[in-house]
Amino acid sequence: MNTENPLKLDDFLAIWKSDNNRYLQEFFDASAFLDTKYGFCYENFVPDNALTPLGPDGVTTFASAQRRLSPDAMAKYKAAMAKNIGRDVEGFMAYTGSIMPFGDALTPVDVLAQTQWEETEQLLGNASSIMSTWMTNVQNLVNSADSLFSNQAAQLMSTGKIVGKNSEDGAVMYVQDALIPEENKVTAGAKAWTDADCDILDQMRIIEDAYRERSGDDQDLNWRIPLAMWRNVFLKNTGLIAKVKEWRTIQELPTSSGGTVLEAWVVAYLNSLGLTSPIRIVHEGEVKQDPINGGFSDTRRNVKGWNPDAAVLMPAGTSGLIKKGVIQKAKLFSRFSNESAIKYNIAYIRGGLYAVITSVTHDANGLPVYHVDLEGNSAPALTCAPYMTIVDTKTAD
């Protein structure tokens, strides 16, 4: 792309028409136009470099092997010639899961749109506005994939499972279960955390101690609390507010702001207390448009993948890998497409987790039709499932 002279329409149309199949890839890479709006998955999961293979039975299966931690014990005193008592040899836990294709697209436009672009270019003297409008649309496509990952990642981290469906009452199209050990799915403790007089911190400490005792796990852990729970449960807990005020009074600091305490005060209090592992607030949320009326729902809903009642104690580092498989359409395009019937350009995004495919077909009386599709075949997978504890905060023991 020539960046010094005014952008010409031909530069834009080259996205579909260039003979260089990597034009689109180079364009995205060089322009750095695409942002990450939904980053929750990428904050917690790392794209897997290896490609998950597609089996002959049509299943893209990945395997995940995890070692369960068990507490060790001291050796025993014994007579010199006495036999030893054998201890169980630990195996490793393995599970397989499959990944699922997903996609989105821009409405294909035809030669009439092209004519419109040409007239716009003549009017403005360059094609920059056409290009930037188009990039906004592509950004939306990229957001659709990132937000799907974000939703899946939050489901995995807060429930150990992904249950994928396009609408509330629609068919479940995809299920992945990371097999979090049953003993690591626990209830809230003496009281539900939502009770205003619940001693949340002490209950968290008991849960954390029990996990460490049970597993012998001494790695750095974090508590993950969804934002709504932090605001509606933690910051409204009378015991916690009183303790924060008391702690600030000792230090001769202000103790009330509009009748309550500030988030920053609570965080500072918790950090200085060291009663539990650090708390990280989960900021995650997506927009869903149900495929009602054949895909054209009038309503868009705000959804969250994170189970609103779940608090999770888990390792501090990354939570897993984003597994990727072969993108069937991209493979078929690059292997079998006929240049005279269709011209395509593929740009892989985020290391091949998904791809934007532009193609131009000549199916409207031989006139061009411009397509932009997003195609992906990937999903996040947990690698720390055995070391996670999921707390049902609304149910007391």
Q: Which residues bind another protein (CB under 8 A)?
A: 57, 59, 63, 94-98, 100, 161, 163, 165-167, 169-177, 179, 290-295
Question: In angstroms, what is the minimal distance from the CB of 297 to another protein?
Answer: 9
Nearer to another protein, 98 or 203 (CB): 98
Cα torsion through 245, 248, 254, 259, rounded to 10 = -10
**Beta strand segments in 199-341, E:** 221-226, 279-282, 286-289, 300-303, 310-315, 320-325
Nearer to another protein, 212 or 323 (CB): 323
Q: How far apart are CA 327 and CA 194, in angstroms?
A: 45
Question: In angstroms, what is the minimal distance from the CB of 338 to another protein?
Answer: 12
Nearer to another protein, 32 or 172 (CB): 172
Question: In angstroms, what is the minimal distance from the CB of 110 to another protein?
Answer: 18
Residue 192 is encoded by which pair of tokens? 């539900």
**Beta strand segments in 237-388, E:** 279-282, 286-289, 300-303, 310-315, 320-325, 342-349, 354-364, 367-382
What is residue 168's three-state secondary structure?
coil
Alpha carbon separation from 121 to 33, 37, 109, 130, 392 (Å, rounded): 21, 30, 17, 8, 58
Residue 355 is encoded by which pair of tokens? 């791809």
Question: In angstroms, what is the minimal distance from the CB of 182 to another protein?
Answer: 13
Nearer to another protein, 56 or 259 (CB): 56
Question: In angstroms, what is the minimal distance from the CB of 177 to another protein?
Answer: 5
Nearer to another protein, 6 or 291 (CB): 291
Question: In angstroms, what is the minimal distance from the CB of 174 to another protein?
Answer: 7
Please provide the DSSP assignment of 51-79 as one string.
EEPBPTTS-BEEEEEEPPP----------
Nearer to another protein, 128 or 328 (CB): 328
Q: How far apart are CA 144 and CA 355, in angstroms?
A: 12
Question: In angstroms, what is the minimal distance from the CB of 294 to another protein?
Answer: 5
Q: Which helix (H) or strand (E) holds 389?
A: strand 389-392
Name the β-bridge partners of 209.
none
Task: Give the residue from 191, 192, 240, 186 showing the smallest Cα distance to 213.
Answer: 186
Question: Rounded to the nearest 5°, which phi and psi values hold at 123?
Answer: -65, -45
Nearer to another protein, 80 or 171 (CB): 171
Nearer to another protein, 94 or 190 (CB): 94
Residue 297 is encoded by which pair of tokens? 């729902």
Question: In angstroms, what is the minimal distance from the CB of 171 to another protein?
Answer: 4
Nearer to another protein, 59 or 275 (CB): 59
Nearer to another protein, 104 or 121 (CB): 104
Going by C-beta distance under 8 Å and a sequence separation of 6 or more, which residues neighbour residue 4?
none
Other C-beta atoms closer than 10 Å to the C-beta of 170 total 12
Question: In angstroms, what is the minimal distance from the CB of 217 to another protein?
Answer: 23
Question: In angstroms, what is the minimal distance from the CB of 330 to another protein?
Answer: 16
11-23 CB burial, b ≥16 within 10 A, e <16: bbbbbbebeeeeb
